[in-house]
Structure 1
Amino acid sequence: MLMRSRRRHIVSATAMAVVMAGASASVSLAQESGERTADRAFAQSTLLQRLLITDAGGGDPYARPAPASRVEREAITERFGGDANQVLRSAAGTFTRNPSDQPGLTVNVRGLQGMGRVNTMIDGVPQTFRNLSGHGGTFDDLAYVDPNLLTSVDVVRGAVSGAEGMGALGGSANFRTIGIDDVLLPGRDYGVMNTWRGGSNHFGWSGMIAGGLRAPMFPNGEGTANLVGAFSYTEKGHFENGDSVAVPFDPTNKPGSGLLKMELKPNDTHELKLGGRWYDNAFHVQSAGYDWSINNQTYTANYAYTPGNPLWDLRVNAYLNTTELDFDGVGGVFSDRNGVNKSAGVDISNRSRTSFGETDLEFYYGAAYSSDDYKGNDRRGANPDGRLIKAGLFGETSLTHGMLGLKGRLRYDRWQLSGVRGYTLPGVGTCPPGGGNCPGETASRSGDEWNPSVTATLRPLDWMEFYATYAHTYRAPTASEMFYPGGHNFSGGGSPIENNLDLVAETMRGIDIGVNVTANDLLIAGDAFRLKAGYFRNRIENFITYGREQKPSDPRPMVRWINLPGTTTMSGFELEGGYDAGFLYANFSLTIADTEQPLPYFAGVGNDVGRLPDDFATIDVGTRLFDQRLTLGGRMRYVGDSVQVFFDDANSLHFPDYVLFDAYGSWQFNENAKLFFSVENIADKSYMNAMGGFADSYKGVNTGRGRTFIVGATARF
């Protein structure tokens, strides 16, 4: 079924790209002179915002008084070799869980990961899929992302505004995919973009083709209609570490993905965007002995009403996201398992602005709703069927007077969780023989919370702003936690005694104190210096973890998900920024933190908990030559001591820190095309990849990728 779906998407996406390529080939030559002029101006401009890790708030990269980061497409494609894990690890306070045989991406922000603590999104759509069963399972959310289709990655640490912050405890990460302006050259109404790369050390190869069309909506030439289609395919092999030894578990996988987007803008007041994205992959989770097939489909609709009136900036967003898992292997207790995770949501918001003399006032308010529903077949294992509904109202008021600013937020979050407490096997009790498992009783729980926050800002100089935030955040328990049926649960039967209907939501009280610096013409005319430095301290109550407890009704202590007593505290210091003088640039990020999650029962065996290194850093320096058409640079990646948890602290494995050096370069050899290269781990260092997972760590073989050469090209026509 998944392969038929893949073939259907491949055919449709390829056909769309070919049609658009044909259209672009018929471009009038009359446009070419203007395009060459625009391209020369672009090539000679300073690329600071394309190179720096920047703010997710739009406008000036460091204008937002909050701990937020962005990595742009140029860095994703050319400098990180399309490795989303490296992209995220280059941002302050951000890491990933990265087992070798699982291409699904798990984002860790300030030590928090899994079960929705970090709202991980693709084009604003939450990715909530997880698989609890089998040694290759994980209690973390898994996002299946194709880097070839990305235009930026935005990370917010701490409290998150608006609909994206609903139910998120400690931050968000949004992977934005390409749009019409990424595909078309300046001044063009149709065109094609192509990217490919290949490399040594079984890096494999990947390619992407996208086509875009822009046309008037109406015969009189008014309005704009945009259409973008893209298809991407990748083959990854079984790479070797710095000792020329293949990593223990085969990471081979061959994802295919694509997207189709339409934008309709009849005038400057109304805009409607419709989109569809799909991802198909099949891989062998060797650490568990199962073949996984993953199919993800996402559909979005976004409407904006912007009449030019300061009282109206209205946005309405809706989505449907479905992820299907199949275990296709022969043999094993979970073979033939199928599960479908379906989520849907809608939000509406408006922004109003006004002024009173020298005082600016802004209101941002709205509402959001989401539904996350999981259903499995009789081989669901420890993945319980259930539905989590979240809904909320949010409002923010921002006041700015001279150098002083004050923002107050208040959001109301409500959740309702329902699920099946257990299943009876055929022929047992009242369940008829010869059929499937019979569902037992259902149960539901709900809760709500008011979550305030306040931010104060001080801008003593035009290029410097201090900020301080105190915020309450909130995460509801998931069906995986509350209706957990216990252990391996090979038959899919399950026992209600291992549910925990008494779970309550996690709450966090956090502070962020920081400074933004945006200085221009600092050393020479036209240069730019950006800096974001901050300290955070988060206190979490009712932290949910895997543990043993005995309730009065239990015959013995049971292993289930529980709320920990006491307070879990995480704190740290984050620094990132850069300097760009055109011919010379440098970017950096640094994290020094104490963000250890509490160890769960049976820690490390299928329930990794995100024990980050206490410190990690990235430094990236380079130069641009020959009218900035040639870029040459190098990067240093430092990762401090890390711990792979196993049962308890005494039995956990401790791995040393490591420093890696990479090199990269690119040549914009004409207005349309660019060649690029990178060398990962130049010294061919052998190291244990931090946060690689328990299975990788216990084989005694270093899992970090050895020296790898990557070459590629991008082109737009």
Structure 2
Amino acid sequence: MRSSHKVGYLLTGCLIVPGTTFSAENEGESVFSTLTITDNAQAETNHPGSSADTYTRPGAYSSRTLNENLQSLDASLRSMAGTYTQIDPLQGTVNVNIRGMSGLGRVNTMVDGVTQTFYGMAPSSYHFGPSNSAGVLIDPNFLAEVDVSRGSSAGSQGVNALAGSANMRTIGIDDLVKEGRQTGVLSRFSVGDNGLGRTGMVAVAGKTDPFDNGGMLGALVGISGTRTYATYENGGGQSSKEFMGEDTNYMRQEPRSQLYKVDFNPDQYNHIEFAGRNYQNTFTRRDITSDDYYLRYNYSPLSELIDFNVLASTSRGNQNYQIESLYNFSNASTTNKSNAVDVSNTSRFTWASVDVEYLLGGKLMDTRYTRGFEQDNETDRNAFSPSGKQKIASLYTGLTLNKSIYQLDLNLNYTRSQVQGFKPACADNEKCFPQGEANLDLDDKALNPSVTLSAQVTPWLQPFVSWSRSSRAPNVQEVFFANEGGASMNPFLKPEKADTWQAGFNLNKEGLLSEQDSFHLKALAYESRIKDYINSESFFLCYDGSRCKDIDNSSGGFNANIYVNTTSPVTSRGYEIEAGYDIGYAYVNLTWSKQHTNQPTSIASSSTSFSYDDLSDLPDSYATLDVGGRMFDQKLVVGSLFKFTGKTKRLSTWPDENTNTMNKDEMPNIPTVIDLYSSYQLTDDVKLRLSVQNVTDKNYADALNRMNQNGMENEGSSSVTTTARGRTWVFGGEIRF
């Protein structure tokens, strides 16, 4: 019997048996599960910037409310424990990094639950190669919050997610329309000096009164625009033109975005939501568009056994390159299309004094990358935006059992991934399989379980421990990398697999030092062991036609960068802390992370090569301290952010001949950066904000910024490091009515 059939029968059986047993033992009576009520207003007061789930949900989970302190989306993500971003000023996207892992599949990055698959290729005016990386095209003005699960994710979020998942939620109708009203308006704006530019957003929403049968109709439309500049002064008074060269001429950007949502509830049991998001930008000599649409349906009748959900989505991203933006190419363009369907049902009931929550679902994804270009002396030996398609089909299930103080979470997903595309023929003197041109089809299967055990040992203490197995399929960009045509493609690339152990506790204590205060803490340790880690290595052509790493015993004119699986496991381990204390008139929040990894670098990441992906090692430690106070009946909030970054590394200029990877060089020490912020609730509808970023005007370079790699000299430049903005003032506000 095929393994897919076995898993299907197993999951079906798991659904039928609990439901049947429940019905038999409780025939003739209704048994309802325990109802838990959370005071959300109190949660927002006690956890500024964080949701209550951060400190009550077992496991490595964090949540942030966005647009609070005029911080960038990158800065907000970097303020979360174990979470960082890969900054690439040439891309215009957000690239989430979890515990040193980033990119398609290593982190499942979503917007409103829809997996994002955009892959950007940005040309550069003076760097040795273009910039290539996965990222999310998103307007931060439309975002409400972001949730991050590290180590493992339950349900569809854990499908093809090696290190975890991040979900960014956009504003909805209920975020605009106040209780008891039928219409609402939300406007956000900000303006900053030192090249930060200005941004503005207006969203309007409305909904009907409930129908007689409990139904409702609502709609939202929003528009947003931003203008930012690449020309600014760093903390040393140096203009960015001196270290970014002519790129500053092409890095001014004015993205425009639109957001649409329609909610229709025919009755109190059926809920339908349609949403669309459009993004347009001209940046680094390319015209970028992104269009995302989804349809969500929920059916939740008066039955504990049925909470049925369907999410269908389609996404399309385009990059059209302007004349002479790419060397030796003209009329160049890339397109990625992704269609997905996610279907699930959740049953909640009580059986034998155990509260049970059972999830069963399936997810299908079909993602295609295509390219077009004209080239002098056309050849298939180039690494410009590899084309191909990836299909992912998964069955997933989750079982949560609650009895007394104990909670047990059991999750399982079975995933089949297929990567398909065209491989050109290899030359007669190149040993290759298959030797001639062929359509490759990499077909892989994975069974990924996870288990989490937690206990509410006291009303304020909840320890937890977990183990999970996760996997990531090779992506199109790795399999069909083609700097030497078919001879640099790897039809035998295997998925990455990770085993992760985590142990920690949540602590929530009201009235710690006074009757009005609260203290919250999440602390944990983790270790991940990754097998078949994927990175690229350099190969030459031996005299017998095979690949070899010894240039002295090879023929000239051939140097393939091939993605391969490492023979030795990659290990990462670390500690993470999130804590908060609030006494009403004052608060303090702290996040701290410390980690170590031995993951190798990729030859293709080199700026002298193709700049595919980047060094993703997190700083050995980093922390954010948020201290503030509330005055005048809490209408005025004044606070300060202290951002600490430990030792960090960047890619070396040249590869290491002994290890066949890029060396990691120590970066200059990054000083503690201090931001000041304030907000004033002028009226019930108007809130004004003021921020001074890098208030001490420190001269430093951001960690994990692609443009801080070595070897990026510009002719006439006095620096090889792209340093961050110096002291910058930002004024903004939010209007709701």
Distance apart, 1:137 and its partner CA: 4.0
Which residue in 1 is equivalent to 2:723?
A: 703
Aligned ranges 1:521-532 → 2 under 5 Å: 521-532=511-522
Equivalent-residue separation in structure 2 for 1:501 and 1:121 (angstroms) = 29
- Are the equivalent residues in 1 in contact too, given 2:214–2:268 (CA < 8 A)? no
Equivalent-residue separation in structure 1 for 2:731 and 2:312 (angstroms) = 39
Which residue in 1 is equivalent to 2:257?
A: 257
Structure 1 unmatched ranges of 5 or more: 1-41, 285-290, 425-438, 487-493
Which residue in 1 is equivalent to 2:35?
A: none
Distance apart, 1:140 and its partner CA: 3.0
- Are the equivalent residues in 2 in contact too, given 1:405–1:456 (CA < 8 A)? yes
Which residue in 2 is equivalent to 1:540?
A: 530
Deviation track 1:394-452 (CA, whole Å, cap 9, x = no partner) reads 1112222212222222211111111011399xxxxxxxxxxxxxx95322120101111
Residue 630 (structure 1) aligned with residue 620 (structure 2): no
- SS of the equivalent of 1:62 reads helix
Q: Which amino acid aligns with 1:519?
A: K
Equivalent-residue separation in structure 2 for 1:521 and 1:265 (angstroms) = 42
The one of 227, 237, 240 aligned to 1:235: 227
Which residue in 1 is equivalent to 2:349?
A: 354
Distance apart, 1:695 and its partner CA: 5.6
Which residue in 1 is equivalent to 2:105?
A: 116
- Are the equivalent residues in 1 in contact too, given 2:707–2:722 (CA < 8 A)? no
Equivalent-residue separation in structure 2 for 1:642 and 1:620 (angstroms) = 22
- SS of the equivalent of 2:603 reads coil
The one of 71, 84, 105 aligned to 1:95: 84
Which residue in 2 is equivalent to 1:568?
A: 570
Distance apart, 1:96 and its partner CA: 0.9
The one of 693, 698, 702 aligned to 1:689: 702
Equivalent-residue separation in structure 2 for 1:43 and 1:300 (angstroms) = 28
Which residue in 2 is equivalent to 1:287?
A: none
- Are the equivalent residues in 2 in contact too, given 1:422–1:485 (CA < 8 A)? no
Which residue in 2 is equivalent to 1:208?
A: 201
Residue 171 (structure 1) aligned with residue 164 (structure 2): yes
Aligned ranges 1:357-372 → 2 under 5 Å: 357-372=352-367
Distance apart, 1:657 and its partner CA: 2.9
Provide the alpha-carbon RMSD of the alignment. 2.4
Q: Which amino acid aligns with 1:85?
A: D
C-alpha change, 1:329 and 1:620, in structure 2 (3 Å) is farther
Query: Which TM-score applies when normalising by structure 2?
Result: 0.83
Distance apart, 1:265 and its partner CA: 1.3
Distance apart, 1:328 and its partner CA: 1.3
Equivalent-residue separation in structure 2 for 1:599 and 1:630 (angstroms) = 47
Which residue in 2 is equivalent to 1:412?
A: 414
Q: Which amino acid aligns with 1:226?
A: G
Distance apart, 1:308 and its partner CA: 3.1
Q: Which amino acid aligns with 2:477?
A: S
Distance apart, 1:105 and its partner CA: 1.3
Which residue in 2 is equivalent to 1:512?
A: 502
Distance apart, 1:554 and its partner CA: 4.4
Equivalent-residue separation in structure 1 for 2:664 and 2:516 (angstroms) = 55
C-alpha change, 1:610 and 1:98, in structure 2 (3 Å) is same
Q: Which amino acid aligns with 1:120?
A: T
- SS of the equivalent of 1:87 reads helix
C-alpha change, 1:99 and 1:300, in structure 2 (3 Å) is same
Equivalent-residue separation in structure 1 for 2:46 and 2:316 (angstroms) = 34
Aligned ranges 1:462-473 → 2 under 5 Å: 462-473=459-470
- Are the equivalent residues in 1 in contact too, given 2:91–2:131 (CA < 8 A)? no
Equivalent-residue separation in structure 2 for 1:44 and 1:454 (angstroms) = 32
Which residue in 2 is equivalent to 1:147?
A: 140
Aligned ranges 1:18-417 → 2 under 5 Å: 47-48=44-45, 51-54=48-51, 60-72=53-65, 76-81=66-71, 83-131=72-120, 137-216=130-209, 222-237=214-229, 238-247=231-240, 248-249=243-244, 250=248, 251-284=251-284, 291-330=285-324, 332-378=327-373, 381-417=383-419
- SS of the equivalent of 1:658 reads coil
Which residue in 2 is equivalent to 1:579?
A: 581
- Are the equivalent residues in 2 in contact too, given 1:121–1:127 (CA < 8 A)? yes
Query: Which TM-score applies when normalising by structure 1?
Result: 0.85
Distance apart, 1:676 and its partner CA: 0.6
- SS of the equivalent of 1:460 reads coil
Number of residue pairs the alignment of both structures matches = 641
Distance apart, 1:262 and its partner CA: 0.4
Deviation track 1:641-694 (CA, whole Å, cap 9, x = no partner) reads 111112347573522132001110111011111111111000000001111114
Equivalent-residue separation in structure 1 for 2:122 and 2:75 (angstroms) = 27
Percent of aligned pairs with the same residue? 31
Equivalent-residue separation in structure 2 for 1:527 and 1:298 (angstroms) = 43
Which residue in 2 is equivalent to 1:18?
A: none
- Are the equivalent residues in 2 in contact too, given 1:53–1:71 (CA < 8 A)? yes
Equivalent-residue separation in structure 2 for 1:196 and 1:136 (angstroms) = 36
Deviation track 1:29-60 (CA, whole Å, cap 9, x = no partner) reads xxxxxxxxxxxxx99977436614346xxxx4
- SS of the equivalent of 1:497 reads helix
